[in-house]
Amino acid sequence: MNSAAVWRSRTGAWTRKVDDMANKPILKEVLRDRGVSRRGFMRYCATLTSLMALPAAMAPRVAQALEGAPRPSVIWLSFQECTGCTESITRSSAPTLEDLIFNAVSLDYHHTLQAASGHAAEAAREAAMKAQDGKYLLIVDGSIPLGNPGFSTIAGISNEDMLRDAAKGAAAVIAVGTCAAYGGLPMADPNPTGAVPVSHIVTDKPVVNIPGCPPIAAVMTGVLAHFLTFQKLPDLDEAGRPVVFYGDTIHDRCYRRPFYNQGLFAEGFDDEGARKGWCLFKVGCKGPVTRNACATIKWNGGVSFPIQSGHGCIGCSQPDFWDAGSLYTAVASPTADITPVAGIAAAAGIGAGVAVAALNLQAKKKAAAESTPVTVQELGGKQ
Amino acid sequence: MTEPGMDLLMWARGTGFQIAIGVFLFGVALRLVEIFALGRKADVAPAKGDAVSGGFRTIFSRFVPAPGFAALLPVQVIGGTLFHFGLLFIVFFFIPHIAVIKDTFGLSWPGISSAVINALTVVTFAILVVLLVVRLRHPVRRYLSDFQDYLIWVLTVLPLVTGYMAFNAVGPYIPMLATHVLSAELLIALIPFTRLTHAFTWVSSRYYNGAFAGRKGTSS
């Protein structure tokens, strides 16, 4: 049973009263109901503790905090997006402990996952916002079009209006995915919808960016776990990302890094270097300029990540990655065509050279014309 | 909100690179036309030797210092030679540099180990520092040096230092890579307008001197 199905079966109809949410069982009870052993739970807490770069001794505290954590209300808004972020967080494969942690929050609105639709769905969102005013977590995926409100609406409400309204009563805002964090594909040149990231609209509250196309499920749940454990958001870097997950570049943590240091590179995707697993820098890997946890946490339950599968990192968690040149060009290589510039510059140089040469020639002729022979007498000599 | 240094790096890879190459090619074309248009006075004396062979010989013979010169100025001769070869290997045989050249001009050749290039960078930088100290400590050399001598020292050293820092993750990678690319572009753009012009005139100027002497039947 996938998480969406779990969600629907657990919550039943969406028509229940939001006020009842406060009476939802805490995580400890949820885990017990799901048959998760104490050992399994402690293992998960240790993993989370490690993911959050906390000392191992903190694991019991994380467990204690998670066990007694109240279930915060979460409102998830989806704007100009492809639902890949939702796919990522819900399709996390077995073991589904991360999934459980996700279920441990009270997801009160998510128009892909909820059973309700139409007015009932919007009523649930409004009720949750009212009942949990100032306390709920607002998660957003997708960018917001400012070019025309009609480009993207939900129940006739423009994305911008819905975000502004929902952000007012939020304890914190989490922008999930590169579109919400940095504008992503919709904001790529020429940005036809006038798309902007969440942080462009929400400026009076902390906005946590969890970029990635999509982000790693464990990173999303890790941020939620941090919030549950410490009742505050994790430390963020200059680009609004949790330092614990985005502190290093893919290149810093890549298992192929020694090949880069040795100067052993794949020249293509099927040459000897590729078969030997050498560094993919020359075929355009964006690992050196991409901050994410793919090389350490990996995907599909830690099975692999793009570089391990033989393809370079495309830098999907970076701002403006769609406009950062070809995915298959080395990170330091020029992105612009220099041919026209080179032609014009060389022609202009030759022209300027000819002009300077003409001036030189003129000066030479003038000097020759004006020169008069110096006699020995003029030099003070005697004949 | 963007990644620190990313905008700068993208500018350096795009517009910055176009400007640098444009200024460089403009300058090279200007210099070459200007130099060759100066012409040479007709030598009416009968030739005592062959100008062409003298010219070609000198292109290579100048790699060897004049007799006694190395003993007189060992630091400059040995250091000067080594740092030129260091730069040659670092610029043209570091594999990411070859990737840039391949993506720009379509030309490619085998590179050498990044670890070797890394070590060469340290050695080359150390030699450049020693040469600067020698220049500064000697009153006559200091007197003969002008602003441009120090400018081209800085222009040469900046890409070395920033490249080393970027490769070895000293400081944040993206701003460091952006600084490295920009410093290399500054160097490229100013080559034709400083004494670094010798980077593309050394062959023709050696030939000129060699041919001049060769025609007179002397060596150069």
SS3 at position A134: coil
Q: Are residues A84 and A45 in the same domain?
A: yes
Last residue of a domain, one of A273, A300, A323: A323
Give the end of a domain, one of A246, A270, A296. Answer: A246
A274 close to A265: Cβ distance less than 8 angstroms: no
Could you give all domains of chain B from N- to C-terminal order, each with its CATH number? 6-35+66-215 (1.20.950.20)
| The residue type at A342 | A
Of A320, A332, A344, the CB nearest to B2: A320
Report the gap between the CA of B201 and the closest CA in chain A (Å).
15
Verify that A302 and A376 share a domain, yes or no: no
Do A279 and A351 belong together in one domain?
no
A41-86 pLDDT, tens digit per residue, is 777 777 777 766 677 788 888 788 777 766 778 899 999 999 999 8
Asked if residue A190 has a cis previous peptide bond (ω within 30° of 0), the answer is yes
Please name the member of B29, B100, B174 whose beta carbon is closest to the beta carbon of A330: B100
Domains identified in chain A, total number: 3
The answer to whether the CB of A44 falls within 8 A of the CB of A97 is yes
Could you list the residue range(s) of the whole structural domain that residue A93 is in?
3-246
* Residues linked to residue A236 through DSSP beta bridges, in sequence order: A242
Question: Cβ(A106)–Cβ(A72) under 8 Å?
Answer: yes
What's the ipTM?
0.83
pLDDT tens track for B132-157: 999 999 999 999 999 999 999 999 99
Cα–Cα distance measured from residue A375 to residue A381, given in angstroms and rounded to the nearest whole number: 9
Domain with residue A265: its CATH number is: 4.10.480.10
Average pLDDT over residues B187-196: 96
Q: Which of A318, A333, A341 has its CB closest to that of B99?
A: A333
B33–A335 CB contact, under 8 Å: no
* CA closest to B100 among chain A residues: A333
Give the integer Cα–Cα distance in Å for A303 and A301: 6
Our CA-based measurement puts residue B150 at a distance from the nearest CA of chain A, in whole angstroms, of 27
> What's the rounded Cα separation, in Å, for the pair A262 and B115?
6
A165 vs A160: CA distance, rounded Å: 9
**Same domain as A256, residue A242:** no
- What pLDDT score does B209 carry? 92
- List the one residue out of A184, A213, A197, A183 whose CA is nearest residue A294: A213
CA–CA min distance B54, chain A (Å): 27
Per-residue pLDDT tens digits for B4-62:
788 899 899 999 999 999 999 999 999 999 999 988 888 888 889 999 999 999 999 99
A36 and A98 inside one domain: yes
Residues A228, A261 within the same domain: no
Answer with the one of A222, A246, A270 that is the final residue of a domain. Answer: A246
Looking at residues A195-216, what average pLDDT do you find?
A: 94
Examine the domain organization and report whether A183 and A305 are in the same domain. Answer: no
- Partner residue opposite B112 with nearest CB, options A238, A249, A263: A263
Q: How many angstroms separate the CA atoms of A45 and A57, rounded?
A: 11
Global pTM reads 0.77
Rounded to whole angstroms, the Cα distance separating A22 from A94 reads 29
Instruction: Let me know if residue A86 belongs to a domain.
Output: yes
Contact B1 A282 (CB under 8 A): no
Using the Cβ of B21 and the Cβ atoms of chain A, whether some distance falls under 8 Å is answered with: yes
Contact B17, A338 (CB under 8 A): yes
Q: How confident is the model at residue A10 (pLDDT cuts 50, 70, 90)?
A: very low
- In this structure, the answer to whether residues A134 and A188 fall within a common structural domain is yes
The verdict on a CB contact (< 8 Å) between B1 and A319 is yes
Within a domain: A183: yes
Contact B207, B213 (CB under 8 A): no
Q: Which residue is closest to B192 within chain A, CA to CA?
A: A349
Peptide bond connecting B96 to the previous residue in cis, omega within 30 degrees of 0: no
| Three-state secondary-structure class, residue A231 | coil
All residues at 6 or more sequence positions from B154 whose CB lies less than 8 Å from its CB, including other chains: none
Distance of CA A92 to the CA centre of its chain: 18
